[in-house]
Amino acid sequence: MIHPQVGSSRLLKFLPGLILTRPGSVAFPEAPDRIREIIVRSFYQTRPISTAPLPPTPLRRGGDILLSLALLLFTLPLMLLTALLVRFESPGPVLDRQQRIGLHGRPFTLFRFRSMCVDAGARGPVRAAAPDPRITRVGAVIRLTRIDELPQLVNVLRGEMSLHRGLTLPC
């Protein structure tokens, strides 16, 4: 295989005995197996990409606190308006709480504005349809604009999530 950043013309300059067998593949007919292995490995040395979350550092945590406080203060009027609209449109709690798994496998409660009817989860998992009847009118707008995610800034302040790597797993 030819590395996409190296390209075949660049390889031919450095390895004159190289034969391109098909797009993306090369052959070294005159090189012994060990030399061929060394040449191929030198072109393909890559480091695996880690998907593990970054370890918490005081600088990162400080940035999370400052940014989440600033965003909470800036979006507070919008959050209050959203809470009132959700409360008046349908009975039930304003916030939806979901159990998630955080750093080091610790469970925590994720907060979101409720965008569905109260009994939406009572029937169990349902395949979402294009016009989902469980989503309220206000819920459709706050989902589209991602306003329903704003209460997660409280999770950031509590140290359960990070703005830099906020992916969590459902329980």
Residue 116 banded pLDDT, cuts 50, 70, 90: confident
Query: What is the C-alpha to C-alpha distance for residues 103 and 54, in angstroms, rounded to an integer?
Result: 10
DSSP 105: G
Query: What is the C-alpha to C-alpha distance for residues 51 and 91, in angstroms, rounded to an integer?
Result: 41
pLDDT of residue 33: 61
What share of the chain in percent tops pLDDT 90? 33
pTM of the model: 0.61
Whether 4 and 46 have beta carbons less than 8 Å apart is answered as no
Q: Where are the domains of the chain?
A: 8-43, 58-120+131-170
Query: What is the C-alpha to C-alpha distance for residues 85 and 62, in angstroms, rounded to an integer?
Result: 33
Q: List the beta strands (DSSP E) in 5-65.
A: 19-22, 25-27
Give yes or no for residue 76 having a pLDDT over 60.
Answer: yes
Q: How does pLDDT run across 88-112, given as a tens digit for each residue?
A: 998 889 999 989 887 777 899 999 9
Query: What is the C-alpha to C-alpha distance for residues 86 and 80, in angstroms, rounded to an integer?
Result: 10
